[in-house]
Amino acid sequence: MLRPVNDASFGTRGMRKAKRLADKNSPSSEREGAGTVGKALGVLDIVARLGHPARASEIRALSDLPKATVYRFLQTLTEQNLLNYDPDLRVYSLGVRLVRLAQVAWRNFQIAPVAQPHLSALASKIGLAVYLSKLDGGQCVSLERGTPGGRVGVLQDVDRIYPAYCTAVGKAMLACLTEDALDAALTQQSFHSLTEATITDAETMRTELEKTRARGYAIEDGEHVRGIIAIGVPVRTPGGRLIGGLGVHAPDRQTDLQQLQRHVPKLQECAVAIASDAADWSFPEADRHIEYRGEKT
């Protein structure tokens, strides 16, 4: 026998359930979730600031959170390997996952802030814009530039992506790669003919890179943009790891390659200075996926 439904009671229960679902999906709930993450990171920061393995009581004393909340976060952070717990000493310390994250962050460290003063100083000396780039996926990414007061020369946007195979700074960096790494990088080049001077095949590029290694810097003679010439040098750490490249561009109506090549020693000195400053900030190197010619292991 079917029993009658109490519509009023059902409606009340349904409204309460709907309200709970709405509250769960509301922006305030999202803010609460973000706040929870922030509080957990705050506990992690306390352990980091202490600088030594610490008991839960010591961590709790430095936190404004309730005792139960601190213990819950400590347990979660330990489960995620962000903290390490020694059951014998009953102390917490930073976990191995944080070390791995730090290594990745430092490997991806942008040298632009370190390089900028050197780029500006060199640009003022030679009267031409100086560019810092990095090699990424076989392509060049412009990271920073130093510009002379008169804004003379070729100005290129920072964060612009451009080919490696037809630019001086790109060839300077490609020349630093080992054979296996170079093979991979060359497969990522389009080798489109941008001007009549563009190198359009891998074998000719290999020959060009051998010349680049022999002279210690790269040359661009209208290969990327007709009428534009350039020189480029790699930026390498004292251990030989490639961290970027420097380039100087100019219109051929303003100067010629012979004149431009007179700036090579200054450009190389700038590269050494940048690498030296960057080394002061470098995290001890972890395993890397790319090896470079002449790198000390």
List the domain boundaries for the chain.
27-102, 109-281
- Confidence category of residue 22, pLDDT binned at 50, 70, 90: very low
Binning pLDDT at 50, 70 and 90, where does residue 113 land? Answer: confident
Q: What percent of the chain has pLDDT above 70?
A: 76
From the candidate CATH numbers 3.30.360.10, 1.10.260.40, 1.10.10.10, 3.40.50.150, the one assigned to the domain spanning 27-102: 1.10.10.10
Q: What percent of the chain has pLDDT over 90?
A: 63
pLDDT above 80 (res 19): no
**Residue 166 predicted with pLDDT over 70:** yes
Q: What is the pLDDT of residue 136?
A: 86
Q: Mean pLDDT throughout 162-175?
A: 97
Q: What is the pLDDT of residue 138?
A: 85
pLDDT score at 91: 96
Highest mean pLDDT: which of 2-6, 105-109, 139-143, 195-199?
195-199
Find all residues with CB under 8 Å of 11, minimum gap 6, and list them.
none
pLDDT at residue 15 tops 60: no
Query: Which of 71-75, 132-136, 156-160, 231-235 bottoms out in mean pLDDT, i.e. has the lowest?
Result: 156-160
The CA–CA distances, whole Å, from 11 to 3, 15, 16, 18, 39 equal 17, 6, 9, 10, 38
Q: How confident is the model at residue 88 (pLDDT cuts 50, 70, 90)?
A: very high
Q: Is the pTM of this model over 0.85?
A: no
Q: Which of 96-105, 189-198, 221-230 has the lowest mean pLDDT?
A: 96-105
**pLDDT at residue 149 in the model:** 74
Q: Is residue 107 classed exposed, middle or buried when 0-12, 13-18 and 19+ CB atoms within 10 A define those classes?
A: middle
Which pLDDT score, from 0 to 100, does residue 109 have?
Answer: 60
The pLDDT score that the predictor gives to residue 8 is 43
Model pLDDT for residues 225-269, shown as the tens digit of each residue: 999 999 999 999 888 889 999 999 999 999 999 999 999 999 999
Q: What is the pLDDT of residues 44-85, one digit of tens each?
A: 999 988 889 999 999 999 999 999 999 999 999 999 999 999
Q: What pLDDT is recorded for position 61?
A: 95
Q: What is the pLDDT of residue 286?
A: 38
Mean pLDDT of 277-289: 56
Q: Tell me if 84 sits within 8 A of 52, measured CB to CB.
A: no
Q: State the architecture of 109-281 in CATH terms.
A: 2-Layer Sandwich (3.30)
pLDDT bin (cut points 50, 70, 90) of residue 287 is very low
